[in-house]
Amino acid sequence: MSKHLDFLAIGDLTTDAFIRIKDAAVHCKINQEDCELCVRFGDKVPYEYVKVVRAVGNAANAAVSASRLGLSSALVTNIGDDENGRECMAELARNKVGTELVTTHKGRPTNYHYVLWYGPDRTILVNHTEYDRRFPLKTPAPTWIYLTSLGADTFPYHIAIADYLEAHPETRLAFQPGTFQMKLGFDELARIYAHTDVLAVNVEEAQRMLGIDAEAAGARDPKMLMKGLAAHGPKIVIVTDNTNGAYMYDGERSYFVPMYPDPRPAFDRTGCGDAFASTFIAALAMGKPPLEALMWAPVNPMSVAQFVGAQEGLLALDQLTWWLEKAPEEFKVKEI
The Cβ-side half-sphere exposure at 112, using a 13 Å CA radius, reads: 12
Domains of the chain in start order, with CATH, are 7-14+56-110+129-335 (3.40.1190.20)
Q: Using CA atoms, how far apart are residues 26 and 140, in angstroms rounded to an integer?
A: 49
From CA 3, how far away is CA 171, in angstroms rounded? 15
Cα-trace Rg, the chain: 19
pLDDT in tens, the chain (336 residues): 557 899 999 999 999 999 999 888 888 876 666 788 898 889 898 999 999 999 999 999 999 999 999 999 999 999 999 999 999 999 999 999 999 999 999 999 999 999 998 877 788 888 889 999 999 888 789 999 999 999 888 999 999 999 999 999 999 999 999 999 999 999 999 999 999 999 999 999 999 999 999 989 999 999 999 999 999 999 999 999 999 999 999 999 999 999 999 998 888 888 899 999 999 999 999 999 999 999 999 999 999 999 988 999 999 999 999 999 999 999 999 999
| CA neighbours closer than 13 Å in the CB half-sphere of residue 334 | 11
| Residue 230 confidence (pLDDT) | 98
Work out whether strand 7-10 and strand 14-21 pair parallel, antiparallel, or are unpaired: unpaired
Task: Determine the pLDDT at residue 47.
Answer: 92
| 155-167 and 179-188 helices, crossing angle to 10° | 60
pLDDT, tens only, 241-257:
999 999 999 999 999 99
Q: Please say whether the beta carbons of 120 and 305 come within 8 A.
A: yes
Distance (Å, rounded) from C-alpha 141 to C-alpha 264? 41
